[in-house]
Homo-oligomer: A and B are copies of this chain.
């Protein structure tokens, strides 16, 4: 049990709303500190249910997520037994040819494709090891008084009402958070939700006839097509989860099998034999495109009683692969603050809310930007040139010059600092180009002078 500084450790009664990835991880952190944790989840126990439609099937785990998992003793298991390393982007041109853009040619760091359900199940399973954690599934939050630490749930099966009181309420209930809706009723709450004009739809590349991967597995595959794109992440069973991102208007216009196939033949011809024509049609028309929302808000707390974390506090678009990682980083930071302030909730919640928002706003902006990079810029010579320059300088000065993607994905440098570093790098490069340009001109002028004037 942690932080018995003055011998008066007060065991807190914590309710975590939301038993998804961030909620169940936070429950572990709090349990490890010796607090009583009750975890309430609206859905059924994910360990007993098949994959739900409309939530991404696999995710990219990178260093911020790994750091949090390490703290609760699950990193090695996830990386060694489950995660599939992805060493870079595997770009598919329209003609079916591919090229690779490594994430980190210097130290060969990878991101890992992990199954959402597997990881969520693992976290819940781990929580069973702690006697001070209780899990309640099929409980829907229907009313609350956050200032008083009061919550009222309705059981979705029996319709029974369950009322609970807590010293601390953690809302980790996702982008459409019920806890956040309660916080929103407080005055002075800044809130911004934005749907991008693109939606997504998931398809699948099955394993080959031998049960193996149909594409090189250790990459994130991208079919960048300017205004839209398709990506694929590998699964443990050697299938691929393929996600098509497009404006909703495009999805709407592909309303017949014929139009769909023509579209794929034009833009993603190499994917058709991989997915299978019939499966493509079946999967495409089985669902409909889901929207993508980005949420920025503040403050995250209600006095010393309630706090939102993860997507509930900062849902981001998925293009930097940082949604889960940022949510897990919330847990790491929160744990550090519990340590720093000896479980004094007023100080912990205030500092978390006052300091964390800038970094989450930053990753939100980066994720928006990265969509353009992924679907468009990666195909451009200017991008590839900049990437090459970045990589060379990074190789020469690994402490001083960390390229943006690497600092976001392979370091725990605060997101705002990652952006500042990039701005500084831009400035240095621009000045160097100016200097190079000036030197080149001067040398050129001298040459001209020597040749035509000096010799006359």
Contacts and interface: CB of A to CB of B under 8 A. Distances in A.
Contacts of A193: 189-192
Interface in A173-226: 187-195
Nearest to A187: B291
Nearest to A184: B193
A192 B195 contact: no
A197 to B, nearest CB: 9
B192 A191 contact: yes
Chain A interface size range: 10 to 19
A368 to B, nearest CB: 13
A187 B193 CA distance: 11
A192 B192 contact: yes
A187 B293 CA distance: 10
Interface of A: 187-195, 291
A195 B189 CA distance: 7
Contacts of A194: 190, 192
Nearest to A190: B194
15 contacts: A187-B195, A187-B291, A188-B195, A188-B291, A189-B193, A189-B195, A190-B193, A190-B194, A190-B195, A191-B191, A191-B192, A191-B193, A192-B192, A192-B193, A192-B194
A192 B361 CA distance: 14
Contacts of A188: 195, 291
A226 to B, nearest CB: 23
A135 B193 CA distance: 35
A81 to B, nearest CB: 38
A190 B195 CA distance: 6
A191 B176 CA distance: 13
Contacts of A192: 191-194
Given A187-B291, A191-B191, 8 more contacts: A187-B195, A189-B195, A190-B193, A191-B192, A191-B193, A192-B192, A192-B193, A192-B194
A192 B191 CA distance: 6
Nearest to A193: B191
A193 B195 CA distance: 15
Contacts of A190: 193-195
A77 to B, nearest CB: 37
A91 B21 CA distance: 57
A189 B195 CA distance: 7
Smallest CB-CB A-B distances: 10 pairs: A192-B192, A188-B195, A191-B193, A190-B194, A187-B291, A188-B291, A190-B195, A190-B193, A191-B191, A191-B192
A358 to B, nearest CB: 15
A359 B195 CA distance: 20
A190 B291 CA distance: 12
A200 to B, nearest CB: 14
Contacts of A291: 187-188
A53 to B, nearest CB: 16
A191 B191 CA distance: 8
Nearest to A294: B190
A194 B297 CA distance: 9
Nearest to A297: B193
Contacts of A191: 191-193
A192 B193 CA distance: 6
A194 B191 CA distance: 6
A193 B193 CA distance: 9
A195 B193 CA distance: 15
A47 B174 CA distance: 46
A372 B445 CA distance: 50
A192 B192 CA distance: 4
Nearest to A296: B192
A294 to B, nearest CB: 10
A91 B252 CA distance: 57
Nearest to A191: B193
A188 B292 CA distance: 9
Contacts of A195: 187-190
A195 B194 CA distance: 18
Contacts of A189: 193, 195
Nearest to A197: B188
A193 B188 CA distance: 9
